[in-house]
Structure 1
Amino acid sequence: MQRVVVFDEFGGPEVMHIVEEPVVEPAAGEVRVRIEAFAVNPLDQMMRSGTSPATVPLPHARLGVEGTGVVDALGPDTAGLKIGDPVILAALPDASTRGSYAGYTTLPASQVVPRPAGLGVTEAAAVWVAYSTAYGALVEKAGVRPGDHVLVTAASGGVGRAAMQIARQIGAVPLALTRHTARKDELLAAGAAAVIATDQEDVAEAVHRHTDGAGADIVLDVVMGPGQQELLKAARPGGTLVAAGFLDPRPTPFPTGTPLRIFSYRSFEHTLDATVVKRMAAFLGAGVRLGALRPAVDKVFALDDVVAAHRHLETGPRSGKIVVTV
């Protein structure tokens, strides 16, 4: 038997509870992973509260789109892995039925990647969603190059911090955008070449000042909403804006008449593609070995305290990911 976090109705953190369930055998081409830790993401909060863009079937819905653990069993016709391998879950698109808030999960063998040797369990649990999203948006979608100025919104968050580290690994120049001047020193220490605080500065004016008047080559927008209009003004003509998040629930005016390449990006676009996942895993492994990529962990909870972990998620800005150990 295993312990699994489920919810039978939409609502606040208190709708989650832990049940005992049988451990499922992996099907052909699948692996079973014994979960050691998972991260809590805004998407989990949206699923639990009923605001997710995807349908979540009730009752007995599960949660969790990322985590780390050890291969526990192999289904028929599964190659390339062996029992005992430490892995990271690379994609759980059906999180409502096979989510990582559990003792075990099964998933296709192509959707796990080796856990980099330099990462501990809690760091490994916090790495994939943020870094695969930032990598996919910047490298696969926008084609970031050395020397590019990359404007990163919500820079204090997991994706923002990952984007700054990835930009630096490539040789690009990350410009961090935050709402709070008090976060400047923290973001400079996290890798930003410059920090723009919207409570004191005009975004477009500050970006042009930091780019010798040219504007940002790439804008990573993980916030959306009306504020995107200011980001468009901050980009150079012919630059790229990648919309890769939804932190602001307000409508986003459709950008028209702008001399930019504009992409909408969701991480499952690439994390379900085995070829791109291999590139992501290779980039992540190299970055960890070089010390260029390192996830920040804000707070660690035990599985019995998963409700408290979700309450902590709702308290506001953090300095890293929330992790739950199983």
Structure 2
Amino acid sequence: MSRVVVFDEFGEPDVLHVVEEPVAEPAPGEVRVRIEAFAVNPLDLMVRSGVSFAPVPLPHARLGIEGTGVVDALGPGTTGLRIGEPVLLAAIPDAHLRGSYAEHTTLPASQVVARPAGLGVTEAAAIWVGYSTAYGALVETAGMRPGDHVLVTAASGAVGRAAMQLARYLGAVPLAVTRHTAKKDELLAAGAAGVVATDHEDLLGAVRELTGGTGADLVLDLVGGPGQQELRKAARPDGTLVAAGFLDPRPAPSPGSGALTTIGYRGFDHILDATVVARMAAFLNAGVRHGALRPAVDRVFALDDVAEAHRHVEKGLHAGKVVVTAHAR
């Protein structure tokens, strides 16, 4: 038997509960992964609360789009992987059926990648969503170049931290945006070349000062909502804004008719493309090997405490990813 986190109704974290189910056999072309740990992402909280973009059938829905473990069974005809190989779960578009909040899951072999050497289990559980999103938005979509000033909102979150590390690794200049002056030192230590704290600073003026008056070449907006209008003003007139976040559910203003390029980005735009995933995995492996890319883990919970892990994320005070260990048997 395998322990799985499910929910039968939408609501607060207490709707999550652990059940035991038979261990599924992988279908042709699939693998079964014995999950060692998984991360809690904002999307998980939205799904559990019933406010996600895609419909989630109830009851007995699963959660989780990120995790790590080892391959413990191969479906008929599955090649390229071996039993016992450590892997990352790279894409779970049907998380309500195969989510990573479990001791085991099965998924197509194309949706796992090798775990980067040198990462512990909790770090590995926390790395894929943040870094693949940052890479997909900044490199694959926006074509970030060395020397670009890259303005990152929600910079203290997992994707924001990944974006700053990634920008530095490729020779760009990451500029962090936070609502709290108290987070300045933390963000500088996390890789920001400059920090704008909007509780005490004017965003436009501060960005102009940090960029020598030119404005940001790229803006990675991980928040969304009406505040996006000020971000556009802080960008170069011919720059690029990538809208990749939904923390503010209010509508963002229309891009208008200026020269600024505005692009909407969602992680699943790329992580179901095997060619792009291969580039992401190669980039991630190189960055980890050189010590340039490393996820921050805020706190680790046990599977039985998954509801508490959700409550901790909802408080918004975490500095890095919240991870849950699955303790597969």
Q: Shorter-chain TM-score category?
A: over 0.9
What residue number does 2:144 align with? 144
SS of 1:258 mapped into structure 2: coil
Q: CA RMSD in A?
A: 0.6
TM-score by length of 1: 0.99
* Alpha-carbon distance in structure 2 between the residues aligned to 1:317 and 1:287: 27
**Equivalent residue letter for 2:232:** L
* Structure 1 residue 292: Cα displacement: 0.3
Partner of 1:321: 321
What is the rounded CA distance, in whole Å, between the counterparts of 2:149 and 2:258 in structure 1? 19
Match of 1:228 in 2: 228
Unpaired segments ≥5 residues, structure 1? none
5 Å-filtered alignment, 1:172-321, equals 172-321=172-321
* Residues 168-199 of structure 1: CA deviation (Å, up to 9, x unaligned): 01000000000000000000000000000001
State the alpha-carbon separation in 1 of the partners of residues 77 and 244 from structure 2: 36
Asked if the contact 1:156–1:317 (Cα under 8 Å) also holds between the matched residues in 2, the reply is no
Q: After TM superposition, what 4+ stretches of structure 1 lie above 3 angstroms from structure 2? A: none
One-letter code of the match for 2:157? Answer: G
Paired with 2:191 and 2:19, the residues of 1 have a C-alpha distance of 42
State the AA in 2 paired with 1:67: G
Corresponding residue of 1:129 = 129
1:202-249, Cα deviation, whole Å (9 max, x unpaired): 111111111111110000001000100000000001110000010011
Amino acid at match of 1:320: G
Superposition deviation, residue 99 in structure 1: 0.1
Do structure 1's residue 83 and structure 2's residue 83 form an aligned pair? yes
Match of 2:153 in 1: 153
Q: Match for 1:291: what amino acid?
A: G
1:157–1:317 contact (8 Å) kept in structure 2: no
* C-alpha distance in 2 between matches for 1:49 and 1:185: 33
1:317, distance to aligned residue in structure 2 (A)? 3.0
Q: What is the aligned partner in structure 2 of residue 28 from structure 1?
A: 28
**Percent sequence identity over aligned pairs:** 77
Q: Which amino acid aligns with 1:63?
A: L
Cα separation, 2, equivalents of 1:245 and 1:79? 36
| Cα offsets for 1:140-164 (capped at 9, x unmatched) | 0000000000000000000000000
What amino acid does structure 1 have at the position aligned with 2:300? V
Letter aligned with residue 235 of structure 1: A
Contact 1:232 1:258 survives alignment (8 Å): no
- 1:101, distance to aligned residue in structure 2 (A): 0.4
Residue 71 of structure 1 and its aligned partner are, at CA, apart by 0.3
Which residue identity lines up with residue 217 of structure 2 in the other structure? D
Report if the CA contact (8 A) 2:312-2:318 is conserved.
no
Q: What amino acid is the match of 2:5?
A: V
Runs of at least 5 residues in structure 2 that lack an aligned partner in the other structure: none
How far the C-alpha of 1:258 sits from its partner, in A, is 2.4
Displacement, 1:257? Answer: 2.2
Q: Cα deviation per residue 1:13-46 (whole Å; 9 max; x = unaligned)? A: 0001111101111111111100000000110000
Q: 3-state DSSP class of the match of 2:134?
A: helix
